[in-house]
């Protein structure tokens, strides 16, 4: 297929359940073969626009469309195979259980003859550099491989327009470059038009022609070559949470004297079923920050969850000091859940796994009740937490309806509610805009200054810098590929 | 289990279209479900096992795949032994349970019958690959593509939900919600998994649509059709049934359910 054009004239979309449109009054022209980086603060409607261009927003039952939107002169919902979309949630892009079948799925739907499908499948996998058996289980792929599989899945459809929604979020730095280069190879081969949404813009600036910034109030805030857009609007965009190159985030860190040792792992062997890496020695003291980093699949999360005594250890020992354990024995694995929550807290990668309440307020109350905080104190403690994490206006909202950044703050609040002295965070800044990032990292720095032992797992180079290398007691643990 | 990768060595059954074992199971079970004598079931069981071995299945593989039936068969036999309508000599009577000549004969016939139907059926079906089954359902049995692909995608999603379940369990322990009533906790987690599954399902539907799905006719990357192996399997099922009923009539043991 030849490269596709995009025309939007006064286009807007309001999801059926919302009162405010996600996108409004959008005028946009993209010529065939252009490569566009689409930016905008959280809630500006970037994902909605991509879904609209892919023709998957649904019909009048799903929402209300205004103005006109056309890909290659036709409404996107009426054409198929013109646009290929890679969604934000990496799990959602994999449809079938085998690599070959998953890539073949698109061409099958486009009624490509059988003989040609397998040639396309092999070409697509070659182009994205995914050199695995066609019968390989899609469940056995790493994060980077999974994203390249998603790219191959749309490449095999030979689309004239490639739409990518945060294709490299949650990949390690090598994986990010791998996926980006796969996209470029694919576009060089087909000449297709590209629209990519990504928070971390540095990755894409070298390969795009143009930056378009959506205005949350409707329409386009800025449009043009990257240099010009950032020169004119850089400060404003940075204030609104866009990651602007040349606007490094910095967070003040106070030096604190390390406190008592709280938790020590000796020869700790971690893994879900079998060991994923050699034994680890790691000690955490109050008032210190430890950052664990390394490639996808190195066992970072597994190590963190085992340190938090949420996964059984496969060998070695984990011992809490008397300062942390109090009247309990030294092995956290033997503690009751309510005792663990007041000593070692964990912020999970997916906030949805952690949230159980029907409202934000109830969410915090549940934790307090579980660890036996007297009922009379609940209201005051909850209010203080809500204020501290800027959730006070959302106190009565359902946790699953919050935005990504709000959910992340709430999951941190649930941990703080029970007052643990060791806090483990698994990819806390993943997918956040720069404003939420700053809030989260500031909060984490404050926790260390207040005497907590922080263990953060991250791919984020800025988190490694701010929480791993700013004060003398900071530490970075680099795990290499398992 | 369907959907997971198999480690069993290749057999002649791999050449069979995955929809054929379903048809063979129907052929095999109908006559065995309306008869109740021990001869027909025994002949079917012996021939069925011989067929499985001839197809290349190892005894260990058969046991591994059919253990639910191996457990269920004696249990159904015991209930027959104790509670079937007593007739003939009474051997033992404890409250409602009566062991008689008739109940012993019935118990043996039931055990052999459950094995004769269950062992060959499970041994073959448990080895069926979900993806090939999907191809067969859509191309051989002409089921709607929407139904077949939704089921295939669902099987994959099921594996992901297990990871969700593990994460939910860990998160509850971390938050101090892991003590006390296990049943109540599991119910709560089951509800959350359901919510997560619905959301994932919605996103999956969008992803499928984004790949051009849902616009009517489509092609299939892998051809699925019936061949010689399928004829052999179905023919064997018919032969087993004929031999089993024939032997039971010839020996005078033939007995229909309810007579």
Closest chain A residue by Cα to residue B206: A56
Separation CA A428–CA A439 (nearest Å): 11
Per DSSP, helices labelled H in A39-89 are 46-54
- pLDDT, mean of residues B215-236: 90
- pLDDT, mean of residues A124-150: 86
Cβ of B174 within 8 Å of Cβ of A109? The answer is no
What structural domains and CATH numbers belong to chain A?
6-239 (3.40.50.300), 261-478 (3.40.50.300)
Separation CA B8–CA A474 (nearest Å): 51
For chain B, the average pLDDT equals: 86
Closest chain A residue by Cα to residue B174: A341
* Predicted local confidence at residue A189, as pLDDT: 86
- The answer to whether residue A106 neighbours chain B at the CB level (below 8 Å) is yes
* Predicted local confidence at residue B259, as pLDDT: 67
Cβ of A137 within 8 Å of Cβ of B171? The answer is no
Separation CA A327–CA A331 (nearest Å): 12
Cβ of B156 within 8 Å of Cβ of A139? The answer is yes
Interface A–B counts its CB contacts (< 8 A) at 161
pLDDT digits (tens, 9 = 90+) for A371-393: 889 999 999 999 999 998 889 88
* Predicted local confidence at residue A108, as pLDDT: 94
pLDDT > 60? residue B2: no
Q: Which of A157, A308, A337 sits opposite B177 (nearest CB)?
A: A337
pLDDT > 90? residue B147: no
Provide the 8-state DSSP code for B211: T
State CA A260 to chain mean position distance: 34
What CA–CA distances, in Å, run from A360 to A86, A223, A341, A363, A450? 32, 38, 19, 5, 25
Separation CA B211–CA B105 (nearest Å): 59
Contacts of B210 in chain A (CB under 8 A): 54, 56, 83-85, 87, 154
Separation CA A166–CA A200 (nearest Å): 9
Contacts of B139 in chain A (CB under 8 A): none
Residue A464 CB contacts under 8 Å (≥ 6 apart), including other chains: A291, A293, A458, A476
- The answer to whether residue A110 neighbours chain B at the CB level (below 8 Å) is yes
Q: Which two tokens stand for residue B194?
A: 């359901």
pLDDT digits (tens, 9 = 90+) for A56-91: 988 888 899 999 999 999 999 888 788 999 987 777
pLDDT > 90? residue A318: yes
Q: Which two tokens stand for residue A480?
A: 């290499």
Closest chain B residue by Cα to residue A417: B175
pLDDT > 50? residue B5: no
Cβ of B206 within 8 Å of Cβ of A87? The answer is yes
Separation CA A50–CA B203 (nearest Å): 14
Q: What is the ipTM of this complex?
A: 0.84
Of B112, B113, B143, the C-alpha closest to B22 is B143
- The answer to whether residue B194 neighbours chain A at the CB level (below 8 Å) is no
Residue with the bigger pLDDT between A184 and A297: it is A184
DSSP states of A412-453 as a string? HHHHHHT--SEEEEESTTTT--HHHHHHHHHHHHHHHHTT-E
- pLDDT, mean of residues B91-106: 84
Q: What's the angle, vertex CA A241, arms to CA A239 and CA A242, rounded to 5? A: 105
pLDDT digits (tens, 9 = 90+) for B155-204: 888 878 888 898 999 999 999 988 878 888 888 889 888 888 888 888 88
* Predicted local confidence at residue A168, as pLDDT: 84
* Predicted local confidence at residue A402, as pLDDT: 84
Contacts of A119 in chain B (CB under 8 A): none
- Sign, CA dihedral A260-A263-A268-A271, equals negative
* Predicted local confidence at residue A270, as pLDDT: 93
Residues B17 and B137: beta-carbon distance below 8 Å: no
Give the CA-trace dihedral at B102, B105, B107, B109, to 10 degrees. -140
Which residues numbered 149-178 in B keep a CB inside 8 Å of some CB on A? 149, 152-153, 155-156, 159-160, 164, 167-168, 170-178
Cβ of A101 within 8 Å of Cβ of B177? The answer is no
Whole-prediction pTM = 0.81
Of A405, A421, A402, the C-alpha closest to A361 is A402
Share above pLDDT 90 across residues of chain B, in percent, rounded to a whole number: 31
Separation CA B104–CA B113 (nearest Å): 14
Strands A210-214 and A220-224: antiparallel
For chain A, the average pLDDT equals: 90
- pLDDT, mean of residues B136-145: 90
Which residues numbered 288-307 in A keep a CB inside 8 Å of some CB on B? 305
* Predicted local confidence at residue A1, as pLDDT: 64
Shortest distance, CA B65 to any CA of chain A (angstroms): 21
* Predicted local confidence at residue A482, as pLDDT: 64
Contacts of A114 in chain B (CB under 8 A): 219-223
Separation CA B241–CA B238 (nearest Å): 5
Q: Which two tokens stand for residue B169?
A: 């369990």
State CA A160 to chain mean position distance: 28
- pLDDT, mean of residues A100-117: 94
pLDDT > 50? residue B4: no
Contacts of B152 in chain A (CB under 8 A): 96-97
pLDDT > 50? residue B1: no
Separation CA A347–CA A416 (nearest Å): 10
Cβ of A108 within 8 Å of Cβ of B210? The answer is no
- Long-range contacts (CB closer than 8 Å, 24 or more residues apart) made by A48-53: A48/A13, A48/A15, A48/A22, A48/A23, A49/A23, A49/A214, A50/A85, A50/A163, A50/A164, A50/A165, A50/A195, A50/A197, A51/A85, A51/B206, A52/A11, A52/A13, A52/A23, A52/A76, A53/A6, A53/A83, A53/A85, A53/A161, A53/A163, A53/A195
Cβ of A353 within 8 Å of Cβ of B208? The answer is no
Cβ of A109 within 8 Å of Cβ of B3? The answer is no
Of A149, A140, A182, A147, the C-alpha closest to A166 is A147
* Predicted local confidence at residue B9, as pLDDT: 66
Q: Which two tokens stand for residue A136?
A: 């390989």
Residue with the bigger pLDDT between A195 and B93: it is A195
Q: What's the angle, vertex CA B122, arms to CA B116 and CA B123, rounded to 5? A: 90
End-to-end CA distance of chain B: 38
pLDDT digits (tens, 9 = 90+) for A15-57: 887 788 889 999 999 999 999 999 988 778 898 999 999 999 8
Q: Which of A139, A157, A345 sits opposite B211 (nearest CB)?
A: A157
pLDDT > 50? residue A398: yes
Cβ of B177 within 8 Å of Cβ of A356? The answer is yes
Cβ of A356 within 8 Å of Cβ of B3? The answer is no
Which residues numbered 314-353 in A keep a CB inside 8 Å of some CB on B? 336-338, 340-342, 344-346, 348, 350, 352-353
* Predicted local confidence at residue B98, as pLDDT: 84
Shortest distance, CA B130 to any CA of chain A (angstroms): 9
Residue with the bigger pLDDT between A289 and A171: it is A289
Three-state DSSP class for A139? helix
Separation CA A87–CA A147 (nearest Å): 10
- The answer to whether residue B102 neighbours chain A at the CB level (below 8 Å) is no
pLDDT digits (tens, 9 = 90+) for A233-272: 888 888 888 888 888 778 888 888 899 999 999 999 998 8
pLDDT digits (tens, 9 = 90+) for A409-447: 999 999 999 999 999 999 998 878 888 888 899 999 999
């Amino acid at each position: 297929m030849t490269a596709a054009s995009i025309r939007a004239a006064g286009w807007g979309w309001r999801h059926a359940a919302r009162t405010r449109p996600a996108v409004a009054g959008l005028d946009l022209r993209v010529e065939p073969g252009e490569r566009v980086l689409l930016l905008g603060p959280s809630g500006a409607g970037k994902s909605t626009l991509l879904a609209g261009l892919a023709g998957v927003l649904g019909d009048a039952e799903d929402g209300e469309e205004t103005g006109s939107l056309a890909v290659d002169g036709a409404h996107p919902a009426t054409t198929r195979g013109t646009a290929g979309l890679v969604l934000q949630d990496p799990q959602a892009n994999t449809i079938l259980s085998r690599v070959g079948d998953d890539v073949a799925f698109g061409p099958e739907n486009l009624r490509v003859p059988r003989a040609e499908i397998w040639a396309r499948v092999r070409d697509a996998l070659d182009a994205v550099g995914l050199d695995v058996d066609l019968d390989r289980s899609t469940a056995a792929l790493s994060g980077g491989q999974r994203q390249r599989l998603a790219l191959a899945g749309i490449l095999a459809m030979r689309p004239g327009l490639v739409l990518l929604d945060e294709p490299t979020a949650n990949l390690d730095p090598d994986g990010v470059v791998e996926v980006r280069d796969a996209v470029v190879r694919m576009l060089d081969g087909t000449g297709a038009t590209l629209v990519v949404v990504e928070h971390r813009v540095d990755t894409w600036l070298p390969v795009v022609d143009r930056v378009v910034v959506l205005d949350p109030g409707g329409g386009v805030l800025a449009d043009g070559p990257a240099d010009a857009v950032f020169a004119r609007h850089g400060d404003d965009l940075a204030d609104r949470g866009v990651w602007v190159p040349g606007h490094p985030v910095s967070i003040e860190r106070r030096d604190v004297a390390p406190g008592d040792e709280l938790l020590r792992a000796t020869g700790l062997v971690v893994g879900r079923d079998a060991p994923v890496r050699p034994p680890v020695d790691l000690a955490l003291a109050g008032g210190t920050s430890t950052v664990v980093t390394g490639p996808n699949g190195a066992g970072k999360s597994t190590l963190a969850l085992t340190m938090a005594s949420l996964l059984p250890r496969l060998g070695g020992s984990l011992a809490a000091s008397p300062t942390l354990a109090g009247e309990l024995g030294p092995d956290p694995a033997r503690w009751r859940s309510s005792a663990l929550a007041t000593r070692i807290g964990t912020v999970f990668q997916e906030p949805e796994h952690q949230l159980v309440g029907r409202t934000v307020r109830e969410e915090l109350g549940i934790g307090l009740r579980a660890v036996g905080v007297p009922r009379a104190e609940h209201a005051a403690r909850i209010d203080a937490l809500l204020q501290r994490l800027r959730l006070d206006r959302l106190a009565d909202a359902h946790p699953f309806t919050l935005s990504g950044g709000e959910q992340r703050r709430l999951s941190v609040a649930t941990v703080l509610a029970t007052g643990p002295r060791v806090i483990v965070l698994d990819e806390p800044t993943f997918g956040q805009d720069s404003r939420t990032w700053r809030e989260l990292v500031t909060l984490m720095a404050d926790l260390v200054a207040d005497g907590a032992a922080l263990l953060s797992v991250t791919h984020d180079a800025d988190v490694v810098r701010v929480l791993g290398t700013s004060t003398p007691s900071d530490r970075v643990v680099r795990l290499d590929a398992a | 289990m369907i959907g997971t990768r198999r480690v069993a060595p290749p057999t002649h059954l791999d050449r069979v279209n995955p929809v054929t074992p379903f048809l063979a199971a129907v052929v095999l079970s109908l006559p065995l479900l309306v008869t109740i004598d021990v001869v027909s079931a025994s002949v079917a069981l012996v021939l069925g096992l011989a067929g499985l071995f001839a197809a290349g299945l190892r005894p260990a593989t058969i046991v591994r795949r059919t253990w639910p039936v191996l457990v269920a068969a004696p249990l159904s036999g015991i209930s027959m032994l104790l509670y079937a309508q007593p007739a003939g000599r009474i051997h033992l009577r404890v409250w409602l349970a009566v062991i008689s000549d008739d109940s012993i004969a019935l118990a043996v016939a039931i055990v052999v019958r459950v094995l004769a139907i269950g062992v060959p059926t499970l041994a073959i079906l448990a080895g069926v690959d979900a993806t090939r089954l999907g191809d067969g359902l859509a191309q051989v049995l002409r089921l709607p593509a929407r139904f077949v692909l939704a089921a295939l995608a669902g099987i994959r999603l099921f594996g992901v939900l297990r990871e969700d379940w593990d994460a939910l369990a860990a998160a509850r322990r971390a938050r101090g919600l892991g003590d006390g009533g296990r049943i109540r906790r599991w119910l709560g987690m089951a509800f959350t998994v359901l919510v997560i599954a619905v959301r994932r399902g919605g996103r999956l539907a969008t992803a499928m649509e984004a790949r051009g799905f849902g616009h009517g006719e489509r092609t299939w990357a892998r051809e699925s059709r019936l061949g010689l192996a399928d004829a052999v399997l179905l023919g064997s099922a018919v032969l087993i049934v004929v031999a089993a009923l024939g032997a039971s009539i010839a020996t005078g043991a033939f007995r229909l359910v309810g007579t």
